[in-house]
A = this chain, B = another copy of it.
Protein backbone atom coordinates (compact mmCIF):
# COMPACT_ATOMS: atom_id res chain seq x y z
CA UNK A 1 0.00 0.00 0.00
CA UNK A 2 1.23 3.46 -0.87
CA UNK A 3 2.34 4.87 2.47
CA UNK A 4 0.74 8.22 1.86
CA UNK A 5 -2.72 6.72 1.61
CA UNK A 6 -2.55 4.71 4.83
CA UNK A 7 -5.53 5.47 6.98
CA UNK A 8 -6.29 4.57 10.54
CA UNK A 9 -9.79 3.31 11.01
CA UNK A 10 -11.87 2.10 13.90
CA UNK A 11 -11.57 -1.62 14.70
CA UNK A 12 -15.13 -2.80 14.21
CA UNK A 13 -14.76 -6.56 14.49
CA UNK A 14 -13.40 -8.46 17.44
CA UNK A 15 -11.07 -11.39 16.92
CA UNK A 16 -12.82 -14.72 16.63
CA UNK A 17 -13.37 -16.72 19.78
CA UNK A 18 -13.12 -20.49 19.98
CA UNK A 19 -16.86 -20.45 20.34
CA UNK A 20 -17.25 -18.61 17.01
CA UNK A 21 -15.11 -21.20 15.26
CA UNK A 22 -16.80 -24.21 16.85
CA UNK A 23 -20.23 -22.78 16.16
CA UNK A 24 -19.44 -22.42 12.46
CA UNK A 25 -17.96 -25.90 12.25
CA UNK A 26 -20.86 -27.53 14.06
CA UNK A 27 -23.42 -25.66 11.98
CA UNK A 28 -21.68 -26.68 8.76
CA UNK A 29 -21.38 -30.26 9.96
CA UNK A 30 -25.10 -30.43 10.66
CA UNK A 31 -26.12 -28.67 7.47
CA UNK A 32 -23.91 -30.85 5.32
CA UNK A 33 -25.20 -34.05 6.86
CA UNK A 34 -22.00 -34.98 8.65
CA UNK A 35 -24.25 -35.23 11.70
CA UNK A 36 -27.48 -36.90 10.65
CA UNK A 37 -30.92 -35.88 11.88
CA UNK A 38 -31.65 -37.64 15.15
CA UNK A 39 -27.98 -38.22 15.89
CA UNK A 40 -26.99 -37.52 19.47
CA UNK A 41 -24.55 -34.69 20.14
CA UNK A 42 -22.69 -36.02 23.15
CA UNK A 43 -20.54 -33.39 24.83
CA UNK A 44 -17.38 -35.22 25.80
CA UNK A 45 -16.71 -36.93 22.46
CA UNK A 46 -17.30 -33.59 20.71
CA UNK A 47 -14.81 -31.94 23.07
CA UNK A 48 -12.21 -34.54 22.28
CA UNK A 49 -12.81 -34.32 18.55
CA UNK A 50 -12.67 -30.54 18.45
CA UNK A 51 -10.01 -30.11 21.12
CA UNK A 52 -12.02 -27.65 23.21
CA UNK A 53 -13.64 -27.60 26.65
CA UNK A 54 -17.22 -28.48 27.49
CA UNK A 55 -18.00 -24.78 28.01
CA UNK A 56 -17.37 -24.04 24.35
CA UNK A 57 -19.36 -27.06 23.17
CA UNK A 58 -22.26 -26.39 25.54
CA UNK A 59 -22.55 -22.74 24.51
CA UNK A 60 -22.44 -23.79 20.87
CA UNK A 61 -25.21 -26.34 21.43
CA UNK A 62 -27.34 -23.70 23.15
CA UNK A 63 -26.98 -21.37 20.16
CA UNK A 64 -27.71 -24.05 17.56
CA UNK A 65 -30.71 -25.13 19.64
CA UNK A 66 -32.12 -21.61 19.39
CA UNK A 67 -31.41 -21.72 15.64
CA UNK A 68 -33.54 -24.83 15.33
CA UNK A 69 -30.69 -27.09 14.21
CA UNK A 70 -30.54 -28.96 17.53
CA UNK A 71 -33.26 -30.32 19.77
CA UNK A 72 -32.94 -31.28 23.40
CA UNK A 73 -35.01 -34.39 24.02
CA UNK A 74 -36.12 -35.80 27.35
CA UNK A 75 -33.96 -38.69 28.46
CA UNK A 76 -31.72 -38.23 25.46
CA UNK A 77 -29.84 -34.97 25.60
CA UNK A 78 -29.17 -32.87 22.54
CA UNK A 79 -29.75 -34.35 19.07
CA UNK A 80 -29.60 -33.01 15.54
CA UNK A 81 -33.09 -31.72 14.76
CA UNK A 82 -35.24 -33.96 12.65
CA UNK A 83 -37.65 -32.70 10.02
CA UNK A 84 -40.83 -34.18 8.65
CA UNK A 85 -42.67 -33.26 5.48
CA UNK A 86 -45.24 -31.12 7.28
CA UNK A 87 -42.51 -28.94 8.70
CA UNK A 88 -40.55 -28.92 5.46
CA UNK A 89 -43.64 -27.91 3.51
CA UNK A 90 -44.27 -25.02 5.88
CA UNK A 91 -40.66 -23.91 5.49
CA UNK A 92 -40.99 -23.90 1.69
CA UNK A 93 -44.25 -21.93 2.03
CA UNK A 94 -42.62 -19.31 4.21
CA UNK A 95 -39.64 -19.09 1.88
CA UNK A 96 -42.01 -18.59 -1.02
CA UNK A 97 -43.67 -15.68 0.76
CA UNK A 98 -40.45 -14.00 1.87
CA UNK A 99 -38.41 -14.67 -1.26
CA UNK A 100 -41.11 -13.54 -3.63
CA UNK A 101 -41.64 -10.37 -1.62
CA UNK A 102 -37.89 -9.74 -1.78
CA UNK A 103 -37.66 -10.45 -5.51
CA UNK A 104 -40.57 -8.08 -6.13
CA UNK A 105 -39.00 -5.31 -4.05
CA UNK A 106 -35.60 -5.89 -5.64
CA UNK A 107 -37.17 -5.65 -9.13
CA UNK A 108 -38.66 -2.29 -8.13
CA UNK A 109 -35.37 -1.06 -6.70
CA UNK A 110 -33.06 -2.42 -9.39
CA UNK A 111 -30.10 -0.31 -10.57
CA UNK A 112 -27.45 -0.87 -13.26
CA UNK A 113 -24.84 -1.60 -10.59
CA UNK A 114 -27.10 -4.11 -8.91
CA UNK A 115 -27.93 -5.72 -12.23
CA UNK A 116 -24.25 -6.23 -12.98
CA UNK A 117 -23.79 -7.65 -9.49
CA UNK A 118 -26.64 -10.10 -9.98
CA UNK A 119 -25.30 -11.22 -13.36
CA UNK A 120 -21.94 -11.85 -11.75
CA UNK A 121 -23.56 -13.87 -9.00
CA UNK A 122 -25.40 -15.93 -11.59
CA UNK A 123 -22.17 -16.58 -13.49
CA UNK A 124 -20.53 -17.78 -10.28
CA UNK A 125 -23.45 -20.09 -9.66
CA UNK A 126 -23.11 -21.48 -13.19
CA UNK A 127 -19.44 -22.19 -12.59
CA UNK A 128 -20.17 -23.80 -9.25
CA UNK A 129 -22.73 -26.10 -10.84
CA UNK A 130 -20.26 -27.16 -13.52
CA UNK A 131 -17.78 -28.00 -10.78
CA UNK A 132 -20.50 -30.00 -9.05
CA UNK A 133 -19.08 -29.08 -5.67
CA UNK A 134 -22.01 -29.04 -3.27
CA UNK A 135 -20.57 -26.57 -0.79
CA UNK A 136 -19.49 -24.18 -3.54
CA UNK A 137 -22.95 -24.38 -5.10
CA UNK A 138 -24.52 -23.65 -1.73
CA UNK A 139 -22.28 -20.66 -1.17
CA UNK A 140 -23.04 -19.30 -4.64
CA UNK A 141 -26.80 -19.78 -4.25
CA UNK A 142 -26.65 -18.06 -0.87
CA UNK A 143 -24.70 -15.14 -2.34
CA UNK A 144 -27.28 -14.84 -5.14
CA UNK A 145 -30.20 -14.59 -2.75
CA UNK A 146 -28.31 -12.40 -0.31
CA UNK A 147 -27.91 -9.81 -3.04
CA UNK A 148 -31.61 -9.85 -3.83
CA UNK A 149 -32.63 -9.49 -0.19
CA UNK A 150 -30.09 -6.74 0.37
CA UNK A 151 -31.25 -4.78 -2.66
CA UNK A 152 -34.83 -5.19 -1.47
CA UNK A 153 -33.85 -3.95 1.96
CA UNK A 154 -35.30 -7.15 3.44
CA UNK A 155 -32.46 -7.85 5.84
CA UNK A 156 -34.66 -9.24 8.61
CA UNK A 157 -36.38 -11.60 6.18
CA UNK A 158 -32.97 -12.71 4.96
CA UNK A 159 -31.97 -13.72 8.50
CA UNK A 160 -35.15 -15.77 8.73
CA UNK A 161 -34.67 -17.41 5.34
CA UNK A 162 -31.10 -18.33 6.23
CA UNK A 163 -32.27 -20.00 9.43
CA UNK A 164 -35.00 -21.88 7.57
CA UNK A 165 -32.56 -22.93 4.87
CA UNK A 166 -30.28 -24.24 7.58
CA UNK A 167 -33.03 -26.53 8.75
CA UNK A 168 -33.71 -27.91 5.29
CA UNK A 169 -30.15 -27.89 4.02
CA UNK A 170 -30.04 -31.67 3.93
CA UNK A 171 -33.12 -31.67 1.71
CA UNK A 172 -31.62 -28.93 -0.43
CA UNK A 173 -28.48 -30.99 -0.92
CA UNK A 174 -30.57 -34.00 -1.90
CA UNK A 175 -32.82 -32.02 -4.25
CA UNK A 176 -29.72 -30.52 -5.84
CA UNK A 177 -28.44 -33.91 -6.88
CA UNK A 178 -31.88 -35.06 -8.00
CA UNK A 179 -31.90 -35.78 -11.71
CA UNK A 180 -35.63 -35.53 -12.21
CA UNK A 181 -35.86 -31.78 -12.34
CA UNK A 182 -37.87 -30.45 -15.26
CA UNK A 183 -36.05 -27.16 -14.94
CA UNK A 184 -32.62 -26.89 -13.38
CA UNK A 185 -32.04 -24.78 -10.34
CA UNK A 186 -29.83 -22.58 -12.44
CA UNK A 187 -32.59 -22.02 -14.98
CA UNK A 188 -34.96 -21.05 -12.16
CA UNK A 189 -32.50 -18.58 -10.76
CA UNK A 190 -31.80 -17.19 -14.22
CA UNK A 191 -35.51 -16.58 -14.60
CA UNK A 192 -35.60 -14.78 -11.28
CA UNK A 193 -32.57 -12.66 -12.16
CA UNK A 194 -34.01 -11.87 -15.61
CA UNK A 195 -37.27 -10.63 -14.12
CA UNK A 196 -35.49 -8.55 -11.49
CA UNK A 197 -33.16 -7.07 -14.09
CA UNK A 198 -36.09 -6.30 -16.38
CA UNK A 199 -37.67 -4.51 -13.39
CA UNK A 200 -40.69 -6.78 -13.66
CA UNK A 201 -41.97 -7.34 -10.10
CA UNK A 202 -44.80 -9.61 -11.22
CA UNK A 203 -42.54 -11.93 -13.18
CA UNK A 204 -40.01 -11.89 -10.35
CA UNK A 205 -42.66 -13.16 -7.93
CA UNK A 206 -43.84 -15.74 -10.40
CA UNK A 207 -40.31 -17.00 -11.05
CA UNK A 208 -39.65 -17.41 -7.34
CA UNK A 209 -42.92 -19.26 -6.88
CA UNK A 210 -42.12 -21.65 -9.70
CA UNK A 211 -38.68 -22.30 -8.27
CA UNK A 212 -39.90 -22.96 -4.75
CA UNK A 213 -42.77 -25.11 -6.01
CA UNK A 214 -40.43 -27.44 -7.82
CA UNK A 215 -37.87 -27.55 -5.01
CA UNK A 216 -40.63 -28.44 -2.55
CA UNK A 217 -41.94 -31.18 -4.81
CA UNK A 218 -38.55 -32.82 -5.06
CA UNK A 219 -38.02 -32.46 -1.32
CA UNK A 220 -41.33 -34.20 -0.71
CA UNK A 221 -40.32 -37.07 -2.94
CA UNK A 222 -36.99 -37.34 -1.16
CA UNK A 223 -38.66 -37.47 2.26
CA UNK A 224 -41.18 -40.01 1.02
CA UNK A 225 -38.32 -42.16 -0.29
CA UNK A 226 -36.54 -41.91 3.06
CA UNK A 227 -39.66 -43.00 4.85
CA UNK A 228 -39.82 -46.09 2.62
CA UNK A 229 -36.17 -46.81 3.35
CA UNK A 230 -36.64 -46.68 7.12
A residues apposed to B, CB below 8 Å: 11-14, 55, 58-60, 62-68, 74-75, 86-87, 90-91, 93-94, 97-98, 101, 153-157, 159-160, 164
Closest chain B residue, CB of each to CB of A156: B90
Closest chain B residue, CB of each to CB of A14: B74
> How far, in Å, is A55 (CB) from chain B's closest CB?
7
| CA A159 to CA B66, docked complex, whole Å | 11
| CA A4 to CA B93, docked complex, whole Å | 48
Instruction: Tell me if B74 and A12 are in contact (CB < 8 A).
Output: yes
CB within 8 Å for A90 and B155 given contacts A59-B62, A63-B63, A101-B97: yes
> How far, in Å, is A118 (CB) from chain B's closest CB?
21
> How far, in Å, is A205 (CB) from chain B's closest CB?
13
7 A-B Cβ contacts within 8 A? A12-B74, A14-B74, A60-B62, A63-B65, A94-B160, A97-B98, A156-B164
Q: Which residues on B sit within 8 Å (CB–CB) of A156?
A: 87, 90-91, 94, 164
| CA A68 to CA B163, docked complex, whole Å | 12
| CA A62 to CA B63, docked complex, whole Å | 6
Instruction: Tell me if A74 and B13 are in contact (CB < 8 A).
Output: yes
| CA A135 to CA B106, docked complex, whole Å | 39
